Amino acid sequence: MKKMTKQTISVSGMTCAACANTIEKNLKKELGVKSVQASFATDSVYVEFDENIFPVEKIERSIQGLGYVIGEGKKNTKKDQILSDEMVLILSLFSSLLMMFISMGPISIPHKEYILLVMSAPIVFGAGRGFFSRAIKQAKNLSTNMDTLVALGAFTAFFYSLLLTVFPTYFQEVNNGYYYEASAMIISLILVGKYLEKRAKTKTSNAIQKLLQLNPSTTTVILNGEEVEMAIEDIQKGYRIQIRPGEKIPVDGRVVRGESTIDESMLTGEPVPVYKERGEVLFAGTLNQEGAFMMIADKVGKDTFLSSIIEMVKNAQGSKAPIQKLADRISSVFVPTVISLATLAFVIWFFIMGESFAFALSTFVTTLIISCPCALGLATPTAVSVGIGLGAENGILFKDAESLQKLREVDSIVFDKTGTLTKGVPVVKSIDWESNIKSDDISTLLDVIFSIEKQSEHPYGKAIVSFLEGKSNELILDQFKVVVGKGVKAEYKGDYYLIGNKRLFEEYRISYANYDSASIFIAKNDHIIGTVSVEDEIRQESKVLVSELKSLDKAQWMLTGDSRQNAEIIANKIGLDQIVAEVLPQEKLSFIEKLQEQKKVVAMVGDGLNDAPSLAQADVGISLSSGTDIAIETASISMMHGDISKLPYAFRISEESMSTVKQNLFFAFLYNSIAIPIAMGLLYLPIGYIISPMIGALAMSLSSISVVSNSLRFKYKLKQN
């Protein structure tokens, strides 16, 4: 199978959800592009593609061909653009207000239509040129978006006024006034709205900015025995770096000399500084506190842990929640429908109701302008972006929008025991021998056990090795074999040894009925000669976690390959009622499937390689960042620093995010359902009210801003609590 490249590309110029749909539609046609997700809210396009067939340069050219600008790596340019937008905005708004005074003020100005023509043209075709150029490019691709509505509305108002100005006699019968000031004010108000919307959207995704700011720009590298100030981009693997008190760690690496405490809170959410000494791992972006030390760079650039988190958050914020599919489907037909309704309003008022041409034209323009696909397009992605960003700030990594939406639906949580509810570092309490074992033989037996477990990767094996380290000698075994999920088998000088759980002894038909089932069994030549007592320390936060999840009405199970007796001891200590013990990895998977067959929405929380199948099968897989790489990769949510105490907060973020999405969608649908009929003139016959194009432009801008503001509101609400 070919390896696909995944990349998030920054794109500016998208003005509504229809723009994102257009980009997706065009890129999906290309051979070599597997999947595309364009996000209007985050100004980004996530693409999964085959670099050999359709490289990123072609993807960027394709997007540019649609009228959008590739924004990656152009931060300064973007900043300058914002300042330029402000200047254009002020000039346009001031000129538009002056035009309204000239047009409607008490002072009669001769030939004012020519003054208004000269003043409005730069605003409509200068400040508003972006709307026209994008609308034309959309038309060339047989697509429409918000630019189409704005360009059509402003141009119609301006062109109608131009005809009255140039051919006043010919249009004498339909001359009910000029719309120069209206066309200019439409552009000005929408520019104001887009500017405020851009500022608000930036706040919804400032989690990435915070993460980017964690990296220092320079650091002190030791080259040829001298300290050299060096840019972060120039650091290579193997460089030795001097870190002083108060400095940030520039890349991933290890301490090689000295010691200190490191604040990893911005990366992991864990407030307590972590003590680091020689050999301990360091992460880029974390803050050195008191001590000075030297480190060696192991991972630089995009390979650092911080970079991988930033990429993960970018991809997640640009992904789409299932609930957004409805908004996307509506957005794709929204603009053509609005143009049809605006035309219908013009035809009815002018040809059927006999109103003036100016009146019918006004309803046409207002219907185009007031309709807002922006609010519809922003409803879901802004709330999703805020939710994922809030999670990242608190050490909860949602890998995509679907996991953010799905988590709130979870009613059943299955925990792995070892490494999840416990610390996963078993400790041997004692090794007990059968009464018929001579004391002179014990030393040799301990050497054999030590040698066998030296070759095992199982946590219990490592615990036994740790217990015997320094007390026993390593021997050369004749044979060694791992029996997956059960234990180990080995041969030494003609004797066969078995060390493992009771499943291993059931397989070899060795009775263990007279022994404590909580122990590891040791057998020599099919006879049990001893047992090992092991305990695993419970995580401090497990008891509170179980209690909080119960208060959220979540059913909970603990699954473990450990003995039932050990499982019950752990479960009783943390208040968990339901346990399934002595299960193999495939049986964990079967248990998840059975819950799903009962129509339960299941979250699996685990950290080990053996949990990967269950994490993949569960509706929501939750891994601990301290777990194996495969478990982290498989899960859809990752809890940083192995901290499961924040799981209830993750549920709350999911709940609030989806609640905000529904509020936003309801508002967007309600706004358009009310605004469009009124713009078409619904209230004119009963009460004589009609909306002007300028009021329509103002209402459209405010609707978008209100949706973004509502998404930001839930962010501050959760932060305050």
Contact 557/580 with Cβ under 8 angstroms?
Answer: yes
Compute the C-alpha angle 271/274/278, nearest 5°. Answer: 165
Does the active-site annotation cover 416? yes
Quote the tokens at residue 57.
Answer: 């340069």
Instruction: Write the DSSP symbol of residue 271.
Output: -
Quote the tokens at residue 325.
Answer: 């599919």
| CA neighbor of 359 nearest in space, from 179, 135, 490 | 179
Give the C-alpha distances (Å, rounded to integers) separating 676 from 91, 152, 171, 344, 672: 30, 16, 29, 12, 6
Phi, psi of 266 (to 5 degrees): -70, -20
Contact 688/359 with Cβ under 8 angstroms?
Answer: no
Find all residues with CB under 8 Å of 558, minimum gap 6, and list them: 414, 415, 416, 417, 421, 567, 570, 571, 576, 578, 579, 580
Find all residues with CB under 8 Å of 43, minimum gap 6, and list them: 10, 11, 12, 14, 71, 201
Reduced DSSP (H G I as helix, E B as strand, rest coil) percent helix, strand, coil of the chain, to 5? 55, 20, 25
* CA separation for the pair 177, 162 (Å, rounded): 11
Tell me the three state secondary structure of residue 532.
strand
> 416, 562, 611, 643: which is the annotated catalytic residue?
416
Phi, psi of 129 (to 5 degrees): -65, -30
Pairing of strands 396-398, 260-263: unpaired
Contact 345/680 with Cβ under 8 angstroms?
Answer: yes
Q: Which residues are tagged catalytic?
A: 416
